Every structure is written in structure tokens, then in C-alpha cells.
Amino acid sequence: MNVSRTARERVRAELIREITDIARRHLATEGASGLSLRAVARDMGMVSSAIYRYFPSRDDLLTALIIDGYNALGEAVEDADAACPREDVTGRWLAVCRAVREWALAHPHEYALLYGSPVPGYRAPLDTVAPAIRDTAVYGRIVADAHREGRLSPPAFCPPPPAVLAGDAEVVRTLMPDVPDDVVTRAIAAWTCLFGMVSFELFGQFENTITHRAELFDHNMTCMAALLGLPV
């Protein structure tokens, strides 16, 4: 009965994969709010109600796409990091930045789903948090490596972080062990600046202003590396 059950399960898993694939294609062309179960069903030659056998609601389909998106971005970031020599911490940081930007440019609607305005009424389930920090985990490893190997010399012009942030820094340190508080806050600043740049570019804030976006991005991320204390 195990084999027969897996027979049914297999076709079911196959259909789920096909639904998410088509949904991702729709997402790429129409955006999150244009994702319609009926359209997906139409593309599959199914009747719309049949989709509900596999995804109980539109939000559940969205959750699947969000998890896939986080994993895709996380994998891109992991690959970019792995392609660098481990001791070249600045190169790894820049590679991660570029990987985020390039993945976002290649999948704008998926990026918007992950880092743009939250979908109203949608509450991200807990299954999303693990994939959501794959990229951040890579980043934390880079900072931790740089710190452990003594390659981190943060410039002294920043005031020390207030003591009240120590608790939050403790939480962040689970991703970048042993890193001191002031480096933690700068790491957050650099990370938010990275996503701020990508979001500005993708969401149209650079329209009619910035034309050489890759160059500006690289330069600003290099400045952020310097702010972090990485050798530039």
C-alpha cells in the first residue's frame, strides 16, 4: 500500500509543482496582485475549483511562491559567496551585494513579493522565516569571518551604539557570532542600505535621475564595506 499511496502522492506532488510553476510565470508577468487562481487553472486546462484541492486558498499559493523566492535568492547569494576565496571578505561582500541586485533585477516581481509592500491581509506563516534568512545568514558569516580573522577595522567616526541596543545585538549575533555591538549596528546599516538601493532602483525612485545604476551600486556598496571596516 506504500507504493500505491506514493503513486497517488507522486501525481499530486507533480501537479503542485506544475501549479507553482505556472503561478510563478504569472507572477513574473502580472505581479502579485495579478496572480489569479482562475487564470492558473485555465493555463492548466483545469477548472478553477480543482486548484483548491491543492492550495486551500490564494494565500497558500502565495506562501509557496514566497518560500520559493527566498530560497532562490538565498541560493544565488550562497553561490556568489562560495565562488569567492574565503579570505577575501570584501570580495565576498561585494559578490553578495551584486547577487542580490542581479537576482532582484531578473525577478522583479518576486523581489517585490519578498521585500516590497506586504500583501494586505496576508500574514506570513512560520514556514517562511527559515528560507527568509538564508541570504542574511551568508552575510552574517562574512562579517563573522572578517571579525574572527582580524580583518575588520571599523573607522572611528561613528558614536558607539546606545546600551539599549545590546539585547537586539545579541539576537543578531546568532548570525554573526562574537561580533561586537558597534559592528552589529553597522552591519545592519550596510544591509539595509543594500536593500534600500535595490528597492529604489526597482521601485522607480531612480527614474529620470540615475542612469549608471550598476556603477553607483558598486561604489556605494564599497563605501558600505568601508563603513563596516572591511579592507577596501
Distance CA 213, CA 187 (A): 23
The C-alpha cell at 99 is: 547577487
Report CA-CA distances (Å) from 35 to 30, 39, 105: 7, 8, 20
By rule CB under 7 A, what string of x and - marks binding of each residue 11-30 to DNA? -x--x---------------
Whichever of 45 and 204 has its CB closer to its own copies, that residue is 204
Burial class (CB in 10 A: 0-12, 13-18, 19+), 43: middle
Closest approach of Cβ 161 to DNA, in Å?
Answer: 43
Closest approach of Cβ 75 to its own copies, in Å?
Answer: 19
Instruction: Name the binder of 196 from DNA, its own copies, none, CB < 5-8 A by kind.
Output: its own copies
Q: What angle do CA 146, 88, 81 make, to 5 degrees?
A: 90
**Do residues 23 and 61 touch, judged by C-beta distance below 8 A?**
yes
Among 116, 137, 151, 180, binds its own copies (CB under 8 A): 116
Among 31, 75, 84, 98, binds its own copies (CB under 8 A): 31
Whichever of 7 and 28 has its CB closer to DNA, that residue is 7
By rule CB under 7 A, what string of x and - marks binding of each residue 47-76 to DNA? xxxx-xxx-xxxx-----------------
Closest approach of Cβ 37 to DNA, in Å?
Answer: 4
Report CA-CA distances (Å) from 177 to 11, 74, 119, 202, 224: 44, 20, 33, 32, 20
Instruction: Name the binder of 199 from its own copies, DNA, none, CB < 5-8 A by kind.
Output: its own copies
Whichever of 58 and 151 has its CB closer to DNA, that residue is 58
Within 8 A by CB and 6+ apart from 191, the residues are: 136, 139
Distance CA 47, CA 58 (A): 15
Whichever of 3 and 164 has its CB closer to its own copies, that residue is 164
Distance CA 202, CA 38 (A): 28
Distance CA 170, CA 176 (A): 10
Positions in the binding site for its own copies (CB under 8 A)? 30-34, 109, 112-113, 115-121, 124, 129, 155, 157-159, 161-162, 164-165, 167-168, 171-172, 185-186, 188-189, 192-197, 199-200, 203-205, 208-212, 215-216, 219-220, 222-224, 226-227, 232
Positions in the binding site for DNA (CB under 7 A)? 1, 4-5, 7-8, 12, 15, 35-39, 45-50, 52-54, 56-59
